[in-house]
Structure 1
Amino acid sequence: MEAEESFEAQMREAARVDAFEARQALGRIEEQLFARAPKPVTLGRYVLLDRCGAGSGGVVYRAYDPRLDRKVAIKLLEVRRARDRARDAAALREARAIARITHTNVVAVFDCGFYDEHDLAVEALDERLRGIPGRGVYVVMELIEGQDLREWMEERPRSSRAILEVFVAAGRGLAAAHEAGVVHRDFKPANVRVGLDGRVCVLDFGLAQLGRGRGRARKRRVVGTPLYMSPEQHAGSPITAASDQYSFGVALYEALTGARPFTGGVEAIAASKREGRWIGALGELLSAQQEAALRRCLALRPEERFPSMEAALAELERRSGALDWRARLAIVVGAGVLLLGGAVLGTVALERSQAREQALQCSGGATRAQTVWNLERREAVGARLRASGVSYAETTADAVTRELDDYVARWSAQHRDACEATRVRAEQSEAILDLRMACLDRHLREVGIVVDTLLESDTEVVENAVSAVGALGWLGACEDLDALGSRARLPRDPLARAEIEAGFGGLAEAKILVAAGRYDDGLTLASAVEDEAERLDHGPLRGAAALRRGEAMAGRGAFEGAEAALVDALVSAEAARDERLAAEAWLTLAWVRGVERHEPERGEVWLRLARAALDALGEDRRLEAIYLHNLGGLRSAQGDYRASIVEYERAVELQRALYGERDPAVAQTLNHIANAYMSLDEMGPAWTHAERSLALRRESLGEEHPLVAACYNNMALIRDAQGRHEEALELIRQALAIVVGTSTQREFVSRMIAAQIHEHRGDQAGRVEEYAAMIALPDELFPFFIERRELELEYAQLVEAASSSASSEAWRIEPSGASSSK
């Protein structure tokens, strides 16, 4: 009878699971047949977003709590059989116990309970959410964006000091759990989270048990991860807080030495621990006191370890025989020598000496920067630019060297500040220091790429030299923890990691090449990196390469191909959940489609998606400035010039705050504002903005730079519209003096404006002359809205009209002459 009831219970459970899975399958089929977007997957009030990991006995999902407007992590512990209900209840009790722990180094638990398929609202699941258990226990926890401790250790080489700092923080989390009567039982690097802000948290108490006091625990089956298990765990003996201490010691030893201390199967690992011969010397990694403390954590018998986690951490935090200043002062006071001021002053002097020594450790940034930008390379860049022979070479050389001087000085200052924030002021963790230094290293490599490009510059590079320097990475990103944390995760394999890092380095060079006007070279390099990313099957690198390919094609004017490349970038960004890459791709796509290809309605859609991506990403002032600029361009393309001006003004305000008044982006946006005012026939403010743009460009680029001609073009049109045709003619002649003979589209545009001014002046001969010059230009220099056949037809009509006018004039004069002769 009992067996029959058990069988029936199992059948009922199986039926419930089958029904749940059937609902998921039907939802997927309905989605495919009717192209209907699936509804969100919810568990109670929580909206499940995607799977973000797996832990002991369960799966973890990123989720959203609409009631409190925050993202959370939800762990689902699956239970399929009725006999597991006791485990459900135990897991629930443990989750509630952990929820009572309030400590910065323990992940917070917000909610927990039972659920079944009726609590899940599921119609169709995408690949990221499939496999949700149909029933079990749910635990709602704090979401800590970042990486686990193993990933943190493998990301780049870490100093023993940085490793110890992170482990001590994790140990404090364990100590807090022990104080609450909770033993973790599965402490390991994968169960420690290092947040983007450097905060360290112990999590995944899925194997934890509630102790009856910190020294007692009943015997249970063998649980844990063999590599980190204590000897008593291997033996199936009672597990206490001392067991966590041993696991902590194994993980710390592994992190410091960079090698796993055990090999073989579970039995071989257990035997090595019993013999105790696996612990090697740590040399200079720790002080003698710290090494002794670690060895005590790894004692074979629990009673030989520290009496508590707090006691272990106190020893590990000690430096070799050195007491802090408070301890020294206490000794001085306790010895009754307060009158011996020399002793106190000596202590203070020692502290100041140590502070100076720490500050000196942070002075190496300037030396590193000189490897890529020093006096010799500075002079070589200036000489190369001046040797180009272009009329604005001198101004460009001065501007480029000045901007590089300023950038490298700011880089050095930020390098020192990042170091001192950890080493001197102790207001920043080693983890954050590592992130900031890695970011600064990437930017310094970009400086090297810019300098190398300038040292090989041709006329095209000289024209775009200031823009190339302006393309250097924004240093503010190295202080933005959200931006730093969103960097693509690299694989653990050293060879694959090196290949991917080399790929990103190639894309940095492609970005500089595009900014320098070497679009073909940038395109070739980006395409090669994209092929390599495909071989490595690394989505973030593939997406970044497609973005650079799109930018290069847009620079060449191949907007259709650019749009296709940007869509490729978006696909990779969405697959890799790279929100920053997605935002950049949407922004560029909106400009290409809406402004360059003159389809503002479609551009509006892309820009709305860019806005959503930016909101999801969080504050990024650099991308926000691009968004406002592109929104202004889109509004102008839609004919809403008033709205265009508003957005351009917001963009230029942010550009000034980010880059300074002299940055080329500021002058460009001011010129756009002038264009919008011209379209509104408001020539006063149009002139003001065009004149300011001209002044900035003449100062930063030189009197005869091609971009200065664009300002003269606008100012000539303004004066022509005001009926001040002679002033307009003088301005357009200044533009023509710059662009004639450059074989660029700028020459066509300036000649077209000159022809219009001649028409308004009544100078038909001058108009015919400009038309003839435009027709002589090759087809690739014609703007998209001008057809050669139409231009040639207009030219023929002008010539005919001019001939007729000349004949008519001759006819009127000749009779008069005959009459006179008569």
Structure 2
Amino acid sequence: MSFLARAAAAAHPGEAEQALDRLVEFSLVERVEDRFPPVVRLHPLVHRLASRDLPAAEQVNLLRHLGEQAAHEDEDALAERYFAQLARVALSRDEADVALYALANISAPIARTVALQETDIQDLPAEWYESAAGIALLGEIAAGAREDGDLSGAREVQERLLRSSERVLGPEHPDTLSAMVRLAITEFDSRNLAEARALQERVVQARLRVLGPEHPDTFRAMFDLAATLSQQQDFKGARMVLEDAIPRMRQALGAEHPETLGALSRLANVLFKGGSLFQARDIQERVLSARQLVIGDKHPETLGTMADLALTKRGLGDLEGALDLQRQVLAGQQERHPPYHWNTIAALHELAATNFQAGRLAEARELQTDALTGMQITLGPEHPWTTTAAWHLMRTLVAMGQRGAAGQVFRDSLQWLMDRDPDSLPKEQREIQADLRARMEERTDHSIELA
């Protein structure tokens, strides 16, 4: 009874009278004596509802009446409470649908919560899918399923939402295209890359027709498509999409606009994955120079570009150039973050790998030890990346001839892996398990000391 609380809390007689008038208007109370402080009596039906002795049919009728009156008076918070309660006590499917429909018109997130608690969205009547409120509710339920990690459930609702949006709003309505984008994201996250690609290609074509080739949403659609093509190992296709977008971005936004530089970074990443390392390096150097000039050396995007360029230089065999950049990245991350922040751990890990490749084993060992400690703290002892860090440290110790220390790392961080079924492990851990078993069988001077 928010109005009743307001009346009781009002310090000024005029405020109390105004609140009381609203209570009377909603038939929640009736005046007994016309004075201040007022003497009022709860309406008998409200009293019976509050004390839960009102017959179910009367509860439904009263809640519907109160909800409709509150909605008419734009008292949304109160209307939400009445309609949510109506959905819970409804005697029939139709009555629950009426309440959910009213809720969706007021607040789709509230309706989603009630629907997930009280009803099965798959049983909603057909007319729901022909209304804006129903479409909003479907979108909220899909979002809730994604938040809960239920990608299959989210996809099912999103497919129904897309069909409804196409029928009700039209195939190229902004909300329909947004529904298509969200379904594509769910397909991508579910590793259904062909389905994601087909949806994204439709979005790109629609954006080009409706918004034009230089609209930000068109560029975003093209970037999403390029990411999916890259995941499919179609680096040529991803490159073509990005090279189509970037000149128009440069013309529309400017060569040093953050979005333009971000697109160039995406292109460099595709070139790197596709094996065109020299071209990737040239683009990354241009992006790095621009970001250093515009946003400074220690900005996260600058550090990210620096880290990418270091990996490209390492791939080209320029280990000294890679090391110089990675030391700058580590220093920048340590300055920005606490010791075991993931960005700092990742910088340690990559700098260690380059030192190992350069034959600087002592430096690699020290960095790998710090990285392993950070991963154990932040990710846990059995996370695949923690396992990989321990394996790298063990290999470095073996290469240094420190077989006893390597055996200690094995016992502390890797031995648990040997008791697991390979089929139950991620790919990285299966490969590490196979390497460890091979070392145990060899028992050569280069094997680890397990005892």
Normalization by structure 2: what TM-score? Answer: 0.54
Measured at CA, do residues 584 and 689 of structure 1 come closer, stay the same or move farther in structure 2, by a change above 3 Å?
same
The residue identity in structure 2 corresponding to 1:703 is P
- Using the alignment, how far apart are the partners of 2:414 and 2:317 within structure 1? 26
- Partner of 2:66 in structure 1? none
Question: Is 2:361–2:400's contact at 8 Å kept on the other side of the alignment?
Answer: yes
The answer to whether residue 265 in structure 2 is matched with residue 629 in structure 1 is: yes
- Partner of 1:664 in structure 2? 300
- Using the alignment, how far apart are the partners of 2:296 and 2:165 within structure 1? 36
Deviation, 1:764, is 5.2
- Partner of 1:566 in structure 2? 200
- Partner of 1:758 in structure 2? 397
- Partner of 1:797 in structure 2? 438
Measured at CA, do residues 801 and 709 of structure 1 come closer, stay the same or move farther in structure 2, by a change above 3 Å?
same
Equivalences for residues 376-775 of structure 1 within 5 A: 524=154, 527=158, 530=162, 533-534=165-166, 535-537=168-170, 538-551=172-185, 554=188, 559-560=193-194, 562-579=196-213, 580=215, 581-594=217-230, 596-611=231-246, 614=249, 619=254, 621-655=257-291, 662-740=298-376, 741-742=379-380, 744-763=383-402, 766=406, 769=410, 772=415
- Using the alignment, how far apart are the partners of 2:232 and 2:396 within structure 1? 28
Question: Is 2:417–2:433's contact at 8 Å kept on the other side of the alignment?
Answer: no
Question: Is 2:391–2:432's contact at 8 Å kept on the other side of the alignment?
Answer: no
Query: 1 or 2, which has the higher helix percentage?
Result: 2
- Using the alignment, how far apart are the partners of 1:747 and 1:562 within structure 2? 31
Number of equivalences? 303
- Using the alignment, how far apart are the partners of 2:224 and 2:176 within structure 1? 17
Question: Is 1:744–1:781's contact at 8 Å kept on the other side of the alignment?
Answer: no
**2:443 aligns to what SS in structure 1?**
helix
**1:668 aligns to what SS in structure 2?**
helix
- Using the alignment, how far apart are the partners of 1:708 and 1:606 within structure 2? 33
Measured at CA, do residues 573 and 617 of structure 1 come closer, stay the same or move farther in structure 2, by a change above 3 Å?
farther
Measured at CA, do residues 698 and 597 of structure 1 come closer, stay the same or move farther in structure 2, by a change above 3 Å?
farther
Deviation, 1:682, is 1.6
Question: Is 1:636–1:644's contact at 8 Å kept on the other side of the alignment?
Answer: yes
Query: 1 or 2, which has the higher strand percentage?
Result: 1
- Using the alignment, how far apart are the partners of 2:318 and 2:349 within structure 1? 17
Measured at CA, do residues 530 and 603 of structure 1 come closer, stay the same or move farther in structure 2, by a change above 3 Å?
same
**2:233 aligns to what SS in structure 1?**
coil
Question: Is 1:542–1:569's contact at 8 Å kept on the other side of the alignment?
Answer: no
Q: What do the CA deviations read for 1:120-139 (whole angstroms, capped 9, x no partner)?
A: xxxxxxxxxxxxxxxxxxxx
Deviation, 1:658, is 6.5
Unpaired segments ≥5 residues, structure 2: 1-108, 110-130
- Using the alignment, how far apart are the partners of 1:764 and 1:578 within structure 2? 63
- Using the alignment, how far apart are the partners of 1:805 and 1:627 within structure 2? 46
Deviation, 1:679, is 1.1
Q: What do the CA deviations read for 1:300-354 (whole angstroms, capped 9, x no partner)?
A: xxxxxxxxxxxxxxxxxxxxxxxxxxxxxxxxxxxxxxxxxxxxxxxxxxxxxxx
The residue identity in structure 2 corresponding to 1:632 is A
- Using the alignment, how far apart are the partners of 1:654 and 1:499 within structure 2? 48
Structure ID, larger Rg: 1
Q: What do the CA deviations read for 1:643-679 (whole angstroms, capped 9, x no partner)?
A: 2122123334455567665543332222111111111
**1:644 aligns to what SS in structure 2?**
helix
Deviation, 1:614, is 3.6
Question: Is 1:539–1:572's contact at 8 Å kept on the other side of the alignment?
Answer: no
- Using the alignment, how far apart are the partners of 2:209 and 2:383 within structure 1? 40
- Using the alignment, how far apart are the partners of 1:671 and 1:557 within structure 2? 27
Deviation, 1:636, is 1.2
Deviation, 1:642, is 2.8
- Using the alignment, how far apart are the partners of 2:148 and 2:295 within structure 1? 24
Deviation, 1:714, is 0.8
- Using the alignment, how far apart are the partners of 2:196 and 2:445 within structure 1? 48
- Using the alignment, how far apart are the partners of 1:689 and 1:556 within structure 2? 35
Measured at CA, do residues 738 and 555 of structure 1 come closer, stay the same or move farther in structure 2, by a change above 3 Å?
farther
**1:723 aligns to what SS in structure 2?**
coil
Question: Is 1:539–1:575's contact at 8 Å kept on the other side of the alignment?
Answer: no
Q: What do the CA deviations read for 1:418-437 (whole angstroms, capped 9, x no partner)?
A: xxxxxxxxxxxxxxxxxxxx
Question: Is 1:553–1:562's contact at 8 Å kept on the other side of the alignment?
Answer: yes
- Using the alignment, how far apart are the partners of 2:245 and 2:266 within structure 1? 10
- Using the alignment, how far apart are the partners of 2:259 and 2:149 within structure 1? 22
Question: Is 2:384–2:429's contact at 8 Å kept on the other side of the alignment?
Answer: no
- Partner of 2:426 in structure 1? 782
The residue identity in structure 2 corresponding to 1:601 is K
Unpaired segments ≥5 residues, structure 1: 1-448, 450-494, 807-822
Measured at CA, do residues 805 and 590 of structure 1 come closer, stay the same or move farther in structure 2, by a change above 3 Å?
closer
Measured at CA, do residues 545 and 756 of structure 1 come closer, stay the same or move farther in structure 2, by a change above 3 Å?
farther
Question: Is 1:632–1:643's contact at 8 Å kept on the other side of the alignment?
Answer: yes
Deviation, 1:728, is 0.6
- Using the alignment, how far apart are the partners of 1:682 and 1:650 within structure 2? 18
Normalization by structure 1: what TM-score? Answer: 0.32
Q: What do the CA deviations read for 1:349-374 (whole angstroms, capped 9, x no partner)?
A: xxxxxxxxxxxxxxxxxxxxxxxxxx
State percent identity of aligned pairs. 17
The residue identity in structure 2 corresponding to 1:754 is L
- Using the alignment, how far apart are the partners of 1:658 and 1:527 within structure 2? 41
**2:339 aligns to what SS in structure 1?**
coil
- Using the alignment, how far apart are the partners of 2:191 and 2:343 within structure 1? 17
Deviation, 1:777, is 9.8
- Partner of 1:387 in structure 2? none
Question: Is 2:310–2:321's contact at 8 Å kept on the other side of the alignment?
Answer: yes
- Using the alignment, how far apart are the partners of 2:421 and 2:343 within structure 1? 20
Give the number of the structure with larger relative contact order, counting CA–CA contacts within 8 Å between residues 6 or more apart: 1
- Using the alignment, how far apart are the partners of 1:667 and 1:780 within structure 2? 36
Measured at CA, do residues 540 and 701 of structure 1 come closer, stay the same or move farther in structure 2, by a change above 3 Å?
farther
**1:703 aligns to what SS in structure 2?**
coil
